[in-house]
Amino acid sequence: MFIYVVVSFAVSGVGSIMLTVGIFTKFACLVCWIHVTSLAKRTSGVQQAGDTLLRIILFWFIWLPCQDYYSLDARMQISSSRVTTQVSSMASLAFMVQICLLYQLPAAFKVNALWSRPTKESAIYYVLANVAFCRKHFFTDWLVRHPEVPRILTLVTPWLEHAAPMFIFGNKIPGLLIFGVVSLIGFHL
């Protein structure tokens, strides 16, 4: 039994490295997805939403042409199916809808007074002050000491989450994609 676990994790580790550098990308995606899915079935008691999102993203990556962009496969031209810089398929649409839902569903629960009319202790303040949700860090300590900043972040968060589909699907509007990427990266910091 122990040797099976060691071999399984070794194969998964090699697959993860292959996926990271982009060599035999489709096969590496499949290996990583199988490993993450089987691990989720065996450890369901310690799973959280991020694990489920990882499984879903890996599943969609199996069907997307990841090997054609920013990978060693593309540099070595193992796969020559790349014709354009734009990918339009059911898998790409499903992936984009999945990411939109990642922001839209939590935003739907933030339509209440705690998020729309924050008092001194706003929703973001409560999250930052709770050590179960947030690690102690000099930046979080600073935010807790200056409650006006979490109050502003509390007002901005639902708007940014509601605007995420516009950032994801609005690539025809000049500058919107860059603004969306910078905003969403900043949102997660």
The predicted-structure confidence for 154-165, as pLDDT tens digits, reads as follows: 888 889 999 989
Regions of the chain with pLDDT less than 70? 78-87
SS3 call for 88: coil
Helix extents (H) in the chain: 2-21, 25-42, 49-63, 72-76, 90-108, 113-116, 123-129, 138-145, 148-169, 176-188
Q: For residue 55, what are the CA distances in angstroms to 38, 86, 117, 140, 183?
A: 10, 24, 36, 30, 25
User: What pTM value is reported for the model?
Assistant: 0.74
CA distance 117 to 73: 51
Tokens 């910078």, residue located: 182
